[in-house]
Amino acid sequence: MANTIGSPVQMRLEAASFCNLRCPLCATTQGHVHQGAVGGGFLRLEDFRKLLDDNPGLERIGLSNTGEIFLNPALLSILELAHERGVELVADANLNKVRPEVLEGLVKYQFRWLVCALDGASEETYSIYRVRGKFANVINNIRKVNELKQHYRSPFPELVWKFIIFGHNEHELLVAREMARELDMEFYPVLNRDPNFSPVRDPEAVRAATGLSVTSTDEYEALHGQSFLEIYCHQLWDNPQINWDGKVLGCCVNSWGDFGDNAFRDGLRASVNTEQIVYARKMLRGRAPPREDIPCTRCGVYEGMRKRGQWLERGARHTVKLIYWDFCSRILRWLPERARRTVKLLYWDFYRRTRRWLPAFVRGAGR
């Protein structure tokens, strides 16, 4: 399997590394982001234009990572330029403070989907984790987006309610799910990554409310024998993370080091295939020992792989999984909400049933 990749068709690109909230578990709140390789800054329109000029094959860009995209003063122009070039934009955001013209731009320039961080269904519960945030502001902004979607007769952006499950908010899961339905949002419950912060109190009730088989990262690791965060390691191949200033971070977990080249200065394809990042891909697959100049060496996810002697799987199963999901994501946007949910369920059921046989009929499909 190759450890170099071609010119990416999708990537992650930090629009802003600053945030207006102070979520307790966030690396930005804790100061790690601005003290490390990420630093403090905004994606410039000039850099974004050069990136698109030099990489006409780009199809999708995720604009978020450590900060809040809506703090970027050039965001509206970035949305417009991406729309002109036919590049889909997606992002995660807290959606607390957004200029009216930018809210309109999300719809007018067909921002594909926006994941909204809403860990609660009330002001009191939401503010426990989203410190400095206002639940009412987020809900009002979501309603404004929905009004604009009706005005422009557009299905975009698709809105997702991301609900990190904590002990202090688990009692509001069902209420939040119903609110999401009323706001035409997909409801997406997520595991809390830190078992020491507000752990789930009633696992069985959470399972019943979410349909999840596990309610903590510890349960996930015990069940699957791997870290909950290993999914992000695949970004080094499939969806590389680029910083607001062009540094190559590789994945969204890494904030402490970069992989050498600069995507704006040295070109995207070259910068995601430096000697360092190619070596990192070998490390993650257990084919090379750790090296001090590789950011992955300092990552707890990689350290867990080393201790278990269980490495990242890159092969037919993973590739076909990506193909399945890409196909589904392309048709889901045209379906009504109920049909979208049915297709997603069918996708996961089909993948679970067939993945054991995939290597038999797609040998060599892995990248």
pTM of the model: 0.86
Do residue 194 and residue 329 come from a single domain?
no
In a domain, 68, yes or no: yes
pLDDT of residue 113 exceeding 80 = yes
Of 242, 277, 293, the last residue of a domain is 242
- Report the relative pairing of strands 241-242 and 248-250 from DSSP bridges: antiparallel
Q: Which domain holds residue 348?
A: 316-361
- For 237, the enclosing helix (H) or strand (E) is helix 235-238
In a domain, 71, yes or no: yes
Query: Quick one: what percent of the chain has pLDDT higher than 90?
Result: 76
Do residue 238 and residue 320 come from a single domain?
no
Q: Which residues contact 116 (CB under 8 A, 6 or more apart)?
A: 93, 94, 95, 138, 142, 159, 160, 161, 162, 185
The least confident of 108-117, 195-204, 224-233, 316-325 is 316-325
In a domain, 285, yes or no: no
The least confident of 143-152, 192-201, 337-346 is 337-346
Higher pLDDT, 1 or 221: 221
Instruction: Report helix, strand or coil for 309.
Output: coil
Distance of CA 297 to the CA centre of its chain: 22
Task: List, for residues 33-83, the tens digit of each pLDDT value.
Answer: 888 899 999 999 999 999 999 999 999 999 999 999 999 999 999 999 999
**Do the beta carbons of residue 255 and residue 241 sit within 8 Å?**
no
Do residue 90 and residue 220 come from a single domain?
yes
Instruction: Compute the mean pLDDT over every residue in the chain, rounded to the nearest whole number.
Output: 88
pLDDT (0 to 100) of residue 314: 84
Positive or negative: CA dihedral 333, 350, 161, 192:
negative
* Alpha-carbon distances of 157 from 181, 285, 315, 329, 336, rounded to whole Å: 16, 36, 33, 14, 14
207 burial type by CB count under 10 A (0-12 exposed, 13-18 middle, 19+ buried): middle
pLDDT of residue 345 exceeding 60 = no
Distance of CA 23 to the CA centre of its chain: 17
Q: How many folded domains does the chain comprise?
A: 2
Average pLDDT over residues 186-197: 93
- Report the relative pairing of strands 10-13 and 60-62 from DSSP bridges: parallel
**Do the beta carbons of residue 82 and residue 61 sit within 8 Å?**
yes
- Residue 335's pLDDT band, with cuts at 50, 70 and 90, is low
In a domain, 173, yes or no: yes
Do residue 110 and residue 200 come from a single domain?
yes
CATH code assigned at 29: 3.20.20.70
CA angle 233, 28, 244 (to 5 degrees): 65
Of 200, 217, 242, the last residue of a domain is 242
Of 225, 242, 259, the last residue of a domain is 242
pLDDT (0 to 100) of residue 362: 33
For residue 17, list its beta bridge partners.
Answer: none
pLDDT (0 to 100) of residue 69: 98
pLDDT (0 to 100) of residue 361: 33
- Residue 316's pLDDT band, with cuts at 50, 70 and 90, is very low
- Residue 2's pLDDT band, with cuts at 50, 70 and 90, is confident
In a domain, 124, yes or no: yes
In a domain, 311, yes or no: no
Do residue 220 and residue 349 come from a single domain?
no
Do residue 81 and residue 225 come from a single domain?
yes
For residue 162, list its beta bridge partners.
Answer: 117, 188
In a domain, 294, yes or no: no
pLDDT (0 to 100) of residue 278: 97
| N- to C-terminal Cα separation, the chain | 5
Cβ count near 317 (within 10 Å)? 19
Do residue 15 and residue 100 come from a single domain?
yes
In a domain, 282, yes or no: no
* Alpha-carbon distances of 206 from 28, 42, 119, 171, 178, rounded to whole Å: 29, 38, 14, 8, 15
Do residue 228 and residue 141 come from a single domain?
yes
pLDDT (0 to 100) of residue 105: 98
pLDDT of residue 230 exceeding 50 = yes
pLDDT of residue 222 exceeding 60 = yes
For residue 61, list its beta bridge partners.
Answer: 11, 89
pLDDT (0 to 100) of residue 366: 30
pLDDT (0 to 100) of residue 32: 77
Angle 337-354/316-332 helices, nearest 10 degrees?
170
pLDDT of residue 1 exceeding 60 = no
Do residue 212 and residue 320 come from a single domain?
no
Average pLDDT over residues 301-329: 72
Do residue 52 and residue 188 come from a single domain?
yes
